Amino acid sequence: MKKIKLIFYIFSFTLIFLNNLNADNSQQVDKISKNLRCLICQGQSVYDSQSDFALSMKILIDKKINEGKNEKEIYAFFKNKYGEWIVYEPEISQNTILLWVIPLILFIFGGILIIRKVSIK
Amino acid sequence: MNKNIKFIIIILFSLFVFFIFYKGLEKPNNYLPEKNLNKIETSLVFKNLNDQKEIILEELINNNSFSIINIWASWCLPCRDEHAYLLKLRNLNKIDIIGINYKDKKSNAIEFLSDLGNPYHEVLVDLDGTKSIELGAIGVPETYLINNKIVVKKYVGPLDDIKLKEIIEIIKYEKN
Amino acid sequence: MINQIGNYSLFIALFASIFLIFQSSNVIRNKSKNLDGKIFSVLSVQSLMVLISFFSLIYAFIVSDFSNETVYNNSHTTKPLFYKISGSWGNHEGSLLLWLLVLTIFLFIFFISSKKLLNKYRILTVLFQELIIIGFLLFILFTSNPFLHLFPIPKEGTGLNPILQDPALAIHPPILYLGYVGTSIIFSSALAALVCGMVNKIWAKHIKKWIVISWIFLTIGILLGSIWAYYELGWGGFWFWDPVENVSLMPWFCLTALFHTIIVLEKRNIYQSWTIILSIATFSLSMGGTFLVRSGILNSIHTFANDPSRGIFILCFLLVLVLLAIFIFFIFQKKLLKKLTKTFLVSKETAIMVNNWFMMFFLSVVLIGTIYPIFLEVINGSKISIGPPFYQKLIVPFLIPFLLFMAVGPKLKWIKDSLSKINFNQLMLFILSIAISFLLVKLYGISYLLILPLFALGFFLFFLTIKDFFSKKSTLSQKISHFGFSLFILSILFNATFAKEFSSNMKVGDERKFLNKIIKFENIKIIEKNNYKSLVANFKISDEKNIISLNPEVRIYNQPRTLTSEAAINSNIYSDNFLVFNVIKDDGYYNVRYQFKPLMMWIWFSIILISVGGILSYLKKNE
């Protein structure tokens, strides 16, 4: 009797564990696919698109997660195949440093302009 | 800052922006990954269409001559259009063509080949499309000209007269 | 025949334009006797001609006159009447004609409603506006003519894109264009005021009406676009930071900044240069946006025409206008008040400057995000994508100080005020806001770092703006708009934090459990309609309290052959239940996506509130 109970518990825990694994996967897949561009659509993400390419991409992302790859590695994998263009969030690299920095510089510049026009008395 | 200097800087900046946009208009807008000198992922394992036997892509690719990988599907209309060109490449030019059947039904694929002819010396199956992505493809039809595991030329979309000519030229050139 | 009328009216309008440009430039040499009358008559003729042209295009669509190439390309005899009409502006050529219509009619209205102002100023405004109008006329007549003849006359059109057959989308362009094109009047009149040395309180009071009108239409236009995207595009989102969306948002930031600055100019007669710069920038962004969207230089799901040659025309035209504006600014800026006005740190003027500061920052983020890929590609050939993560990462953190300033700024007095008047009530509200936010974060285990300050300040602003309704300190329009804004921030925060989604492949009879709900795929029906085949699925979403029935649809159109997905949305004041399904290759299975979206209706409602504030401001009798 005790043995049966033990097997039952192990079995259920495994099921729950696997279920959570998959549940986690779909959230991860969603997150990653939202950040990838569907290459045969005009301006849709892989998450949004129902095209063949997008559907296959989602399956492949799932596979890669199961292989143990993390988010960064998966993005790198696709960038290697298709170029930087496929990832929506521009990483901070030599190419994109200005992209991130210019608005901030402008903000500081604006602040300075205002301070110069203001007096405290 | 001197008013005149400000003025000149702003004018120059506007002209710079204009120039960039002008140049930008000349660029084609549909991006095709230009990584042409990529190695092909030969470690991929496929099942054969006819007998479900497992094959590693590596075994099918010739080491010292050209091969062609063609991704196709029975439900893909442009694939029908380009089929004649594949037959030509196989029969006239004796090039090995590996077909990858993309997200298709076995019976439909076999019917397609018996109706229109079979240019492939081996047909592999990619049921969920993931293996094609591993190869770097984005859809059907897509054709790769390979020499010794390196992608020499990649064609997105159906083959036509111009592309066929190009393939033949490249092969001829290498032979000499 | 109708085609000829449409075409020739435009040519008459062109001649009118040439006449007006020459005549109005006489005013520079101070030869302005009796100019008023002449200009009035020719302006009326021009507006009338463009009106006739526009209506003849609509007529051609209504009667399905396929000898007209534009009608042939964009219509079909089976289209319902309403969409035949809206199809006339739902294409590149027709939409340009609409732009032109608004340009001319607004100018006409401007001319007759500004009789009390300096004549030289009015005529110069006509001059500058006509420079814009003539550019559009030439563009339309020679590169994008909606009246091209087709022979032999086809029996049937090639159909309007089914996605465009939607009521919100039908009225979205006209309303948006009223916003965009309104900025042209602001541009022209700003330059005219500059030349006349008239950048002062009187001009501010006069131009404020135009700024508000443009702003109202632009706000509602953007809202309609978002609502359409949410209900129609089937992805459950309402803002994608897509280039075309960004293009409508950028002038909006400018207009909002300008709206606040013009109040300062009217009240205190300062910030003249900045007001002019903003006026020029707003219109440049409007037109620049038109360029970006129609030239094919951007990759977006919205893009209209992908014709680089048209892009070159617009680009050169825009360059000419911008250079002209810069020249005029530098030549005539001596006429602007020279005294170095400093404002006090704690004052309404400075608060408005702070508003402008943040508006310009948000503008720069969206502008750079949108055009950076173009620059990068031209300069070193690399292609990158800039999507929602970029915009969110840069904008969201800055919302925190912005909300704080919004809580404090609008209440400050003109000229000089002090912050020591923070009273007990406000402090209590602040603590209350922090407490609520803290509770929310702990209860729901929200992990996003900035959520606490965002919720806290969102609630704080919310409470403060409600409290404001009971004070007499500010105008009703300000109270409503600012309250609407706080509501908007809170709705977005709640929606983003607590939205949940589910995606799975299901067949008829399947049931899935999600959160506390059960999603059941009841059945699917096929219905043949007028110009499409419809697959209607029935789903039941049930939880402890009730059962919701949703009927999403997939439409298979035949002219041209496209598949669209119509989402089923159940909305109530608490949340939206959003369901969409798609056909996939697996026979019998469909991909089903369900989203639970709290407070969606409040997002729309808050923007309507913000616009209402603007409308009230417009209708307000001048003191």
**Shared domain check, C157 and C171:** no
Residue C509 is part of which domain span?
500-601
pLDDT digits (tens, 9 = 90+) for C272-331: 999 999 999 999 999 988 878 777 777 665 555 567 777 888 899 999 999 999 999 998
- In this prediction the pTM is 0.86
Interface contact C326-B10, CB threshold 8 A: yes
Q: What ipTM is given for this predicted complex?
A: 0.86
**Shared domain check, C196 and C140:** no
Contact status of C343 with chain A (Cβ, < 8 Å): yes
More reliable by pLDDT, C47 or A40: C47
**Shared domain check, C191 and C135:** no
Q: What is the pLDDT of residue B49?
A: 85
Which among C299, C326, C375 has the least Cβ separation from residue B29? Answer: C299
**Shared domain check, C95 and C68:** yes
Contact status of B7 with chain C (Cβ, < 8 Å): yes
Domains and CATH numbers, chain B: 45-175 (3.40.30.10)
Partners for A (CB, 8 Å, 3+ pairs)? B, C
Calculate how close chain A gets to C152, using CA atoms only, in Å.
34
Chain centroid to Cα C376, Å, comes to 27
Q: Is C593 helix (H, G, I), strand (E, B) or coil?
A: strand
Query: Residue C109 domain-assigned?
Result: yes
A117 chain-C contacts, CB cut-off 8 A = 341-343, 353
Q: Which two structure tokens, joined as six digits, stand for C49? A: 């001609």
Interface contact B133-A57, CB threshold 8 A: yes
d(Cα C298, Cα C113) in Å, to the nearest integer? Answer: 39
Substitution target from B76, B133, B151 for chain A, most A beta carbons within 10 A = B133
**Shared domain check, C34 and C100:** yes
Average pLDDT over residues A56-85: 88
Helix (H) or strand (E) holding C566, with range, is strand C561-566
**Shared domain check, C384 and C324:** yes
Substitution target from A75, A96, A108 for chain C, most C beta carbons within 10 A = A96
**Chain C interface, Cβ < 8 Å to B:** 291, 295-297, 299, 306, 308, 311-312, 315, 319, 322-323, 326, 330, 333, 374-375, 377-379, 383, 585
Q: What is the pLDDT of residue A120?
A: 65
A85 chain-C contacts, CB cut-off 8 A = 383-385
d(Cα C466, Cα C460) in Å, to the nearest integer? Answer: 10
pLDDT digits (tens, 9 = 90+) for B40-54: 777 888 888 888 888
Which among B7, B25, B103 has the least Cβ separation from residue C308? Answer: B25
Query: Residue C482 domain-assigned?
Result: no
Winning range, highest mean pLDDT, from A97-101, C354-358, C443-447: C354-358
> Side chain identity at C238, as an amino acid letter?
F
Mean pLDDT over each residue of chain A, to the nearest integer: 80
B139 chain-A contacts, CB cut-off 8 A = 40, 52-53
- Looking at domain A2-89, which of 1.10.8.640, 3.40.50.720, 3.20.20.210, 1.20.120.640 is its CATH number? 1.10.8.640
**Shared domain check, C134 and C10:** yes
Sign, CA torsion B8/B11/B12/B13: positive
C559 pLDDT band, cuts 50/70/90, is low
Q: Which of C391, C414, C437 finishes a domain?
A: C414
Q: Which residues pair with A37 in a beta bridge?
A: A45
Average pLDDT over residues C597-621: 93
Checking if the pLDDT of C43 tops 90, the result is: yes
Q: What is the pLDDT of residue A106?
A: 94
Contact between C541 and C579 under an 8 Å Cβ cutoff? The reply is yes
For residue C436, count CB atoms less than 10 angstroms from its CB and return exposed for 0-12, middle for 13-18, buried for 19 or more.
Answer: middle
**Shared domain check, C184 and C92:** no
C378 chain-B contacts, CB cut-off 8 A = 20, 23-24, 27
A12 pLDDT band, cuts 50/70/90, is low
For residue C7, count CB atoms less than 10 angstroms from its CB and return exposed for 0-12, middle for 13-18, buried for 19 or more.
Answer: middle
**Shared domain check, C274 and C402:** yes
Chain centroid to Cα C503, Å, comes to 32
d(Cα C373, Cα C379) in Å, to the nearest integer? Answer: 10
Domain boundaries, chain A: 2-89, 91-121
Checking if the pLDDT of A7 tops 70, the result is: no
Checking if the pLDDT of C338 tops 90, the result is: no
A33 chain-C contacts, CB cut-off 8 A = none
**Shared domain check, C382 and C508:** no
Interface contact B29-C315, CB threshold 8 A: no
Substitution target from A26, A106, A112, A115 for chain C, most C beta carbons within 10 A = A106
Beta carbons within 8 Å of C615's beta carbon, 6+ residues apart: C216, C477
A95 chain-C contacts, CB cut-off 8 A = 376, 380, 382, 384
Q: Which two structure tokens, joined as six digits, stand for B36? A: 């042409």
* Cα distances (angstroms) measured from residue C514 to each of B84, C367, C543, C594, C596: 50, 40, 10, 9, 10
**Shared domain check, C238 and C116:** no
**Shared domain check, C85 and C12:** yes
B17, closest residue in chain C (CA to CA): C375
Residue window 283-302, chain C: list those with CB within 8 Å of chain A.
Answer: 299-302
Substitution target from C385, C400, C418, C555 for chain A, most A beta carbons within 10 A = C385
Query: Residue C456 domain-assigned?
Result: no
Contact status of B156 with chain A (Cβ, < 8 Å): no
d(Cα C291, Cα C315) in Å, to the nearest integer? Answer: 6
The total number of structural domains that make up chain C: 3
Q: What is the pLDDT of residue A80?
A: 83
B134, closest residue in chain A (CA to CA): A81
A62, closest residue in chain B (CA to CA): B130
d(Cα C178, Cα C99) in Å, to the nearest integer? Answer: 8
